[in-house]
Amino acid sequence: MNCSGCSDKDIDKKSLSCNVCKLIFCYECLNIDAKKVASLSKNQLASLKCLTCSNVSRRRNNDNTSARAKADQKVEQHSHKPAASQSSSHSGNCNPVPLTLDSISQLLDEKLSLTSPFVINMREALKKDIKELVVAEVKSTMTGLMTDFSTTTDFLASEQTDIKNKIAERDSKIEELESESIRVQRELTSLNNRLSAVEKLSRDHNVEIQGVPESRSENLLGIFKSLCTAVST
């Protein structure tokens, strides 16, 4: 806790507060000692006012207080500041630095030299920025390529699966057709055998005549009757 008068620190046990402005002051700023504080009653402490609030000037023999010393020090500092500024401005006016094109050119050459810290730092910053941009661009490009490649491979895999399914369907149909063809061939063979047997049965009562010349306009029944007549006689 600091004193509001002298800004002194560590005054927790040697301080009193004003009942009007509620500020805290040390014993020295209030021109009071510990014995007098101990002799004050509660009513006196409750009505205690600082020197500013009570409009009572400090005692005369207070030149050695810390508040007075700090105030005098501040006054001395303020009194010396204008002189210092005047002397500095005066010295600046006495030795002005000429500003010419050559000096500006020399300054620019020094700043823009390849070995200057400014150029080196700028190059490092540019390298870092370019590296980050290249890395980001490469990452985005690689991500796009990976996405496209994944999409293409997924499409090819689905197409391959469809082709395999279609081939399996065709194979099953071919097997069915082959089995059907075998069955039809067996039935055809059976029908041929039956047809041959029927033809043989139908020819059991047939008569085959050999040695008789054939003609297109022949009458089979007439020839048969003539043969029967010739055989019977």
Cβ atoms < 10 Å from Cβ of 35: 7
Q: Examine residue 97 and state whether it is found in any structural domain, yes or no.
A: no
Give me the pLDDT at residue 89, please.
42
174 assigned to some structural domain: no
d(C-alpha 116, C-alpha 123), whole Å: 11
Angle at 11 between CA 69 and CA 67, to 5 degrees: 15
Which spans in the chain are helix H? Answer: 34-39, 42-46, 51-54, 66-94, 101-111, 117-202, 220-232
pLDDT at 83: 39
Report pLDDT for 147.
Answer: 92
Domain region containing 39: 15-66
Q: Average pLDDT per run of 10 along the chain, which is 233 residues long?
A: 68 72 77 76 76 56 47 46 41 52 76 79 91 94 92 93 93 94 94 90 78 79 82 75
Kindly state whether residue 6 falls inside one of the protein's structural domains: no
- State the pLDDT at residue 164: 94
Q: Is residue 28 part of a domain?
A: yes
Distance between CA atoms of residues 157 and 152, nearest Å: 9
Number of domains present in the structure of the chain = 1
pLDDT of 101: 75
**pLDDT confidence of residue 163:** 94
Yes or no: say if 29 and 57 are a contact pair by the CB < 8 Å rule. Answer: no
Classify residue 198: in a domain, yes or no: no
Distance from C-alpha of 60 to C-alpha of 233, rounded to nearest angstrom: 199
Q: Is residue 145, in this structure, part of any structural domain at all?
A: no
Asked if residue 49 is part of any domain, the answer here is: yes
Chain centroid offset of residue 39 CA: 75
- Is residue 184 in a domain? no
pLDDT for residue 71: 45
Instruction: Give per-residue pLDDT as tens, 41-83.
Output: 777 777 777 777 765 444 444 444 444 454 455 445 544 444 3
Q: What pLDDT does residue 9 have?
A: 58
Q: Report d(CA 50, CA 230) in Å as an integer.
A: 182
Q: What is the pLDDT of residues 130-145, one digit of tens each?
A: 999 999 999 999 999 9
- The encoded tokens of residue 115 equal 């070995």
Q: Is the pTM of this model over 0.85?
A: no
* pLDDT at 1 (0 to 100): 63
